[in-house]
Amino acid sequence: MEFPDDRHSLLEVIPDVRDGLTRTERIILYVLQETQRELNGRNVPTAMLYGRVLEYVDMSEAELHLYLDRLGVKGDGSHE
């Protein structure tokens, strides 16, 4: 029997077939985009991004950095 927590955990780690992003990666990119829009296109400080991402996903700051590296988000605000 599958429990709701099992399904939720599974959805966190399986990439979506549409774009290859996990739910967590999609949330990070969404929050980054919205915050950058609020800052009129300026770079988003990692601490600010981390605080806002925590509203959606429970993760450590080190985990956020791993996700940002995987997504190609550079510390200076540029993308690969």
How does residue 38 score in pLDDT terms, banded at 50, 70 and 90? very high
Chain-centroid distance of CA 33 in Å reads 10
Q: What is the DSSP letter of 72?
A: T
Neighbouring-strand partners of residue 73: 79
Query: For residue 66, is pLDDT > 60?
Result: yes
Intra-chain end-to-end CA distance of the chain, in Å: 43
pLDDT digits (tens, 9 = 90+) for 39-57: 999 999 999 999 999 999 9
